[in-house]
Amino acid sequence: MTIESSSSSSTLEPLIYNVKLSSVGPGEMTRPDTIHEPTSIDLAMKLHYLKGVYYFKSHEAFASITIVQIKEAMFRWLCQFYVICGRFRRFSEDSGRPYLKCNDCGARLMEAECAKTIEEWLELLSDDDSLEKKLIFGQPIGPQIEYSPNVYLQNL
């Protein structure tokens, strides 16, 4: 997958490239058949997604952090927040109300590379703020909800 931008000379240059998707789950198993029943407000918000972009300048203290170290940290904190690793299922009863089967498949992690520095990217945004949406990877839950991750994290 490559995200491109039109430049003034109408040539296309890749902005985001070398995209890799993986799943990261808790480092420990949750009790079998653990479920979480979403509240009515959770279900009402199912088509509304929280998306955010945070820009961090590179710092010497973080220069040596690798994606493996990020995943190792995620293994630990996902043990505490295992519900977000679940996938939606439906009760077989007449209601068909969705529930989360916990510790099922993990959160989705996207890794990618960017051709621009933060300063260059922010300059591009001053001309076209729709580019920021291209930094947010995600797809809506469904149509097969049992395969849709609830959380996407991105490292660019």
CATH number at 134 reads 3.30.559.10
Q: What is the pLDDT of residue 12?
A: 42
In angstroms, the CA 117 to CA 107 distance is 27
Asked if residue 94 has pLDDT above 60, the reply is yes
The tens digit of pLDDT for each residue in 47-79 reads: 677 777 777 777 777 778 888 998 999 999 999
Laid out side by side, the sheet with 35-36 consists of 35-36, 98-101, 87-90
Q: Please give the tally of structural domains in the chain.
A: 1
Nearest Cα residue to 73 out of 24, 106, 112, 113: 24
Say what the pTM is: 0.72
Range of the domain at 101: 3-155
Q: What is the pLDDT of residue 8?
A: 39
The tens digit of pLDDT for each residue in 2-27 reads: 455 444 333 346 888 888 888 999 99
Nearest Cα residue to 28 out of 90, 93, 77: 77
Phi and psi torsions of 100, nearest 5°: -100, 125
Q: What is the pLDDT of residue 11?
A: 38
